[in-house]
C-alpha cells in the first residue's frame, strides 16, 4: 500500500511504539483518575466534576486491587482495605466468584457453542453449497432464522427449557450456527465448485470428492467463518450471562441481582474493567489458537 515499503522502519519500532502508547495511556489515566485527591471535584466545571470521581473513574491502583481480590477470592489485601458484602466486589467475593473461574466457565460455553453450532453450521453450509435443490429450499428458511438476534430468543428458550444450563447455551449455539453457514456455503459453491468439476471430470465421486476436494477447497472460508463466529460467540455468551447467568464473566460484570432489574444496579467500574481486560485477553488467545490451527489445516493453500 505505501509506495515505498522499503522505507518503513523495522518491526522493532512497531512494537516499541505500541508499547509506548499503552504505557502513555495508562500513565495518563492514572494521573487523571487520581486527580480527585488533589483537586476538590466540586470546584470543577460540570462534565469534569461528574467524571473525576473514584466511583466513575476508578484509580489505577483500585483496579489492581480489584484484580488481586478477584483472582485470590477475597484474600486479605496488603493495604488492609475492607470489603463490604453489599457492594459489587464484596458480593462477588462472598460468593467465591473468581476472575479465572468466571473466564473458565465462559470459555467452556463459547467452546460448546463453537463445537455444536460450528459443526451444525458447517454441515448446513456444505449441504446448501453442494446441492442446488437443498439450497433453493433451505436458504429462505435460513435467512428467516438468521435475521433474529440470538439474544432476543433467550426468554422464549427459557420457557421451554427452564432456568438451567441449556437455556444459556442455546442462543450461543444458534449464534455460531448462523454465522458459520454462509462462509461455508460460499466456500463450497463459489470456490470448491471449480475443483469439484475438475475432479468429476477425472472420475472422482462420492466420499472421495467430499473429503479430498470439497472440504479442503472450502476450508479457508470455513476457518474465516469460525474466526468471526468466535467473536460472535463471546458477544452472545457475555450477553446471556449478563441477562440470565448465575456464573461466567457476564455475571461477574453485573454482579448478580434479579434478572429483570440487573442492569439498573450501578456496578463497580474497577470490577468491570478487570472483567473486560480478562475477556479481551482470552478472546485474543483463542483467536490466535484458531488461526494457528487453521494455518496448519490449510497449509496446502500456498499462495
Partner 1 sequence: MNGLWRRRLWRALLSLGVLAVLYGIASQIGSALLPRRIWMVAHYIEDVELLPPYASLLEEAVFLVKSGILPRSILVSTARVLEGLALGAAVGVPLGLSMARVARLEWLLDPWVTFFRFTPALALLPLYALWFGLGELSKILLIATAVAVVTLLGAYQGVRDVPRVYLEAAKSLGASDGLILRKIVWPAALPQILSSVRIALGLAWVTVVVAELIKATMPSLGYLLALAGAYPRVSTIAVGIVTIGVLVLACDAAALGLYAMATRWMKRSPADA
- List 36, 177, 234, 251, residue binding partner 1 (CB under 8 A): 234
Q: Quick one: angle between helices 99-112 and 166-186, nearest 10? A: 50
* Contact characters 15-34, partner 1, x per CB under 8 A: --xxxxxx--x---------
Closer CB to partner 1, residue 148 or residue 208?
148
Closer CB to partner 1, residue 94 or residue 193?
193
Query: If binding means CB under 8 A, how many residues of this protein chain bind partner 1?
Result: 74
Three-class SS state of 96: coil
| 262 touches 243 (CB < 8 A) | yes
- List 37, 85, 131, 163, residue binding partner 1 (CB under 8 A): 163
- List 162, 194, 197, 291, residue binding partner 1 (CB under 8 A): 162
Segment near partner 1 (CB under 8 A); pick from 75-83, 159-167, 219-227, 295-303: 159-167
Element containing residue 224 per DSSP (H, E):
helix 215-244
Q: Is 40 exposed, middle or buried (0-12, 13-18, 19+ CB in 10 A)?
A: exposed
Q: Quick one: angle between helices 215-244 and 118-130, nearest 10? A: 140
DSSP letter at 300 equals: T
Grid coordinates belonging to 212: 479430498
Question: Is there binding between residue 194 and partner 1 (CB under 8 A)?
Answer: no
- Least Å distance, CB 7 to partner 1, is 10
Measured CA to CA in angstroms, residue 148 lies from 137, 143, 154, 179, 285 at distances of 19, 9, 11, 12, 29
Closer CB to partner 1, residue 260 or residue 299?
260
Segment near partner 1 (CB under 8 A); pick from 94-102, 191-199, 209-217, 281-289: 281-289
DSSP letter at 188 equals: I
Q: Which of residues 128-157 bind partner 1 (CB under 8 A)?
A: 133, 136-141, 143-144, 147-156
- List 235, 256, 290, 297, residue binding partner 1 (CB under 8 A): 235
| Terminal-residue alpha carbon distance, the chain | 19
- List 107, 189, 213, 215, residue binding partner 1 (CB under 8 A): 189
DSSP letter at 78 equals: T
Closer CB to partner 1, residue 69 or residue 142?
142
- Least Å distance, CB 203 to partner 1, is 29
CA count, 13 A, side-chain hemisphere, 80: 0
Measured CA to CA in angstroms, residue 232 lies from 3, 150, 166, 237 at distances of 36, 10, 18, 8
* Contact characters 41-80, partner 1, x per CB under 8 A: ----------x----x------------------------
Question: Which residues, other chains included, contact 56 with Cβ-Cβ below 8 Å and sequence gap of 6+?
Answer: 50, 269
- Least Å distance, CB 16 to partner 1, is 8
Question: Is there binding between residue 85 and partner 1 (CB under 8 A)?
Answer: no
Closer CB to partner 1, residue 204 or residue 256?
256
Amino acid at each position: 500500500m505505501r509506495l515505498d515499503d522499503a522505507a518503513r522502519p523495522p518491526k522493532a519500532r512497531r512494537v516499541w511504539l505500541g508499547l509506548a502508547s499503552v504505557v502513555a495511556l495508562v500513565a495518563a489515566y492514572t494521573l487523571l483518575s487520581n486527580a480527585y485527591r488533589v483537586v476538590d471535584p466540586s470546584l470543577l466545571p460540570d462534565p469534569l466534576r461528574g467524571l473525576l470521581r473514584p466511583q466513575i473513574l476508578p484509580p489505577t491502583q483500585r483496579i489492581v486491587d480489584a484484580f488481586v481480590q478477584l483472582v485470590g477470592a477475597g484474600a486479605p489485601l496488603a493495604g488492609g482495605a475492607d470489603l463490604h458484602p453489599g457492594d459489587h466486589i464484596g458480593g462477588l467475593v462472598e460468593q467465591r466468584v473468581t476472575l479465572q473461574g468466571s473466564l473458565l466457565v465462559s470459555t467452556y460455553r463459547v467452546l460448546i457453542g463453537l463445537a455444536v453450532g460450528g459443526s451444525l453450521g458447517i454441515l448446513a453450509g456444505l449441504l446448501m453449497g453442494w446441492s442446488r435443490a437443498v439450497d433453493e429450499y433451505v436458504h429462505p428458511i435460513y435467512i428467516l432464522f438468521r435475521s433474529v438476534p440470538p439474544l432476543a430468543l433467550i426468554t422464549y428458550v427459557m420457557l421451554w427449557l427452564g432456568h438451567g444450563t441449556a437455556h444459556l447455551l442455546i442462543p450461543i449455539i444458534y449464534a455460531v450456527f448462523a454465522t458459520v453457514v454462509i462462509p461455508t456455503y460460499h466456500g463450497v459453491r463459489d470456490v470448491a465448485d471449480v475443483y469439484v468439476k475438475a475432479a468429476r471430470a477425472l472420475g472422482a465421486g462420492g466420499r472421495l470428492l467430499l473429503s479430498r476436494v470439497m472440504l479442503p477447497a472450502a476450508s479457508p472460508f470455513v476457518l474465516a467463518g469460525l474466526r468471526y463466529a468466535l467473536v460472535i460467540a463471546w458477544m452472545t455468551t457475555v450477553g446471556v450471562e449478563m441477562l440470565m447467568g448465575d456464573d461466567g464473566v457476564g455475571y461477574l460484570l453485573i454482579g448478580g441481582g434479579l434478572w429483570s432489574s440487573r442492569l439498573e444496579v450501578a456496578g463497580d467500574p474497577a470490577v468491570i474493567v478487570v472483567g473486560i481486560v480478562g475477556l479481551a485477553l482470552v478472546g485474543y488467545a483463542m483467536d490466535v489458537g484458531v488461526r494457528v490451527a487453521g494455518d496448519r489445516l490449510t497449509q496446502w493453500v500456498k499462495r
